């Protein structure tokens, strides 16, 4: 006869719940470590390049130099915004919300402080970190904000250095392959970042942001596995099954009306002559009679985590609440990641101000 402690589910579903909690609680830790390592590497790379010329090598890099371009501009970003205004308790305020964005990116060269030139190949997903210092407007509720990277500007560019075309006219040995130019392209699965301001400060800010969330994620992980699932792990790895003889199985209620609560109890003695009193499922309590023998899992030194049954299970009520709280934690982390991004990394550029929309 299968017996269960109060609110516990069967062994199979218990294992599924534990695996789910392991994955969910470990996910923010994995994200924080991944983002921390990425931004720490980029911050160090940016600081190294900013400190002076350094040998170029294939792989992730942050380069600093002067833009050399034969076209009108290297990168042109135009953001169309729609204006709206509202009144609250006699006070007017207005909002400019991005409606569309046009990016024109052309290949150009970056002349490093060493004099070496590196070809840069941005795509339409490039992030241009520059002031939106150009403003065009055709009506009271419609305007465009523009940022532009042109020849002669100093730029810091984050990307990946790969081998490009062979260097024309290079002198090499008879059997030696022709040397190739290094080309800076967008990182795989990510976007190229081009900035007219030093990048290392931006990366260090993200390092500290994700470091704080890593600490919080590790604390959450410790609470989930060291508190909520402690009983499950202790019973699974250190528990032993003993047989108990039921002396009584009963229901005890307290309160009245809507506040009335009832709990089902099973009392008896184990084969080691130790008394036990455990919460039980109502269906388990109803099937038991005085003198019945039932299995229990006990852990030496921790009588509070004794469980009815012969296989380790978890409390469904407690674990579902924990899953919900972990999902809320993940949502808050994701929300903070998005809200603390710089404007050029946000999906929409929104500007707010006091008063009505200006006429001009």
Dump pLDDT digits (tens) for 109-167.
999 888 888 999 998 888 888 888 888 888 888 999 999 999 999 998 888 998 875 55
Would you state the pLDDT for residue 54?
58
Residues near 228 by Cβ (< 8 Å), separated by ≥ 6? Answer: 21, 318, 319, 322
Instruction: Please report the DSSP string for 303-345 in residue order.
Output: GGG-EESSS---BHHHHHHHHHHHHHHHHHHHHHHHHTS-GGG
Question: By the 8 A CB rule, do 309 and 2 touch?
Answer: yes
Q: At what angle do helices 200-223 and 316-339 cross, to 10 degrees?
A: 170
Would you state the pLDDT for residue 170?
44
Instruction: Please report the DSSP string for 220-253 in residue order.
Output: HHHHIIIIISHHHHHHHHH-EEEEEEEEEEEEEE
Would you state the pLDDT for residue 301?
87
Cα 145–196–206 angle (5° rounding)?
A: 95
Would you state the pLDDT for residue 179?
57
The neighbour count for residue 252, using CB atoms within 10 Å, is 9
Would you state the pLDDT for residue 267?
92
The neighbour count for residue 156, using CB atoms within 10 Å, is 22
Residue ranges of the domains in the chain?
49-198+348-354, 230-313
Between CA 49 and CA 110 the distance in angstroms is 13
Would you state the pLDDT for residue 172?
47
Residues near 21 by Cβ (< 8 Å), separated by ≥ 6? Answer: 224, 225, 228, 229, 319, 322, 323, 326
Task: Tell me which of 3.40.640.10, 2.40.50.660, 3.40.50.720, 1.10.150.130 is the CATH number of domain 230-313.
Answer: 2.40.50.660
> In Å, how far are 74, 150, 271 from 145, measured between CA atoms?
17, 16, 80
Which helix (H) or strand (E) segment is 49 a member of? helix 11-50
Would you state the pLDDT for residue 22?
95
Query: How do beta strands 193-195 and 127-129 pair?
Result: parallel
Between CA 38 and CA 15 the distance in angstroms is 34
Kindly give the parts of the chain with pLDDT less than 70.
46, 48-55, 165-180, 360
Between CA 66 and CA 77 the distance in angstroms is 19
Would you state the pLDDT for residue 165?
59
Would you state the pLDDT for residue 133?
83
Tokens at 265, concatenated: 């109890």
Maximum alpha-carbon separation in the chain: 98
Would you state the pLDDT for residue 94?
92
Give the pLDDT confidence of 161-208 residue by residue, as tens digits.
988 755 554 444 445 555 567 899 998 888 888 988 877 777 888 899
Which helix (H) or strand (E) segment is 82 a member of? strand 75-88
Would you state the pLDDT for residue 49?
56
């Amino acid at each position: 006869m299968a017996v269960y402690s109060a609110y516990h589910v069967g062994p199979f579903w218990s294992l599924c719940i534990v695996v789910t909690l392991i994955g969910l609680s470990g996910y923010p830790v994995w994200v924080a470590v991944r983002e921390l390592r990425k931004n720490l590497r980029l911050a160090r790379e940016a600081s190294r390049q900013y400190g002076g010329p350094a040998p170029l090598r294939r792989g992730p890099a942050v380069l600093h130099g002067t833009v050399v371009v034969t076209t009108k501009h290297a990168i042109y970003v135009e953001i169309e915004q729609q204006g709206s205004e509202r009144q609250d308790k006699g006070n007017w305020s207005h909002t400019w919300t991005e409606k569309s964005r046009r990016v024109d990116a052309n290949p150009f060269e970056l002349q490093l402080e060493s004099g070496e030139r590196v070809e840069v190949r941005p795509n339409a997903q490039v992030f241009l970190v520059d002031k939106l210092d150009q403003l065009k407007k055709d009506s009271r509720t419609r305007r465009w904000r523009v940022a532009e990277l042109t020849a002669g500007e100093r730029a810091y560019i984050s990307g990946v250095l790969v081998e490009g075309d062979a260097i024309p006219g290079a002198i090499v040995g008879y059997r030696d392959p022709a040397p190739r130019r290094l080309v800076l392209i967008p990182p795989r699965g990510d976007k190229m970042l081009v900035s007219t301001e030093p990048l290392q400060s931006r990366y260090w800010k993200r390092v500290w942001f994700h470091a704080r969330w890593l600490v919080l994620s590790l604390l959450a992980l410790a609470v989930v596995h060291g508190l909520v699932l402690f009983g499950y792990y202790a019973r699974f790895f250190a528990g032993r099954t003993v047989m108990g003889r039921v002396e009584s199985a009963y229901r005890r209620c307290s309160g009245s009306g809507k506040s009335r609560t009832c709990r089902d109890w099973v009392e008896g003695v184990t084969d080691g002559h130790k008394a036990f009193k455990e919460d039980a499922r109502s269906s388990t309590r109803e099937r038991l009679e005085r003198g019945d023998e039932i299995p229990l899992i006990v852990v030496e030194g921790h009588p509070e985590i004794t469980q009815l049954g012969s296989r380790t299970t978890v409390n469904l009520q407690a674990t579902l609440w924990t899953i919900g709280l972990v999902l809320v934690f993940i949502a808050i982390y994701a929300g903070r990641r998005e809200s603390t991004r710089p404007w050029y990394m946000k999906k929409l550029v929104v500007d707010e101000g006091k008063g009505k929309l200006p006429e001009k």
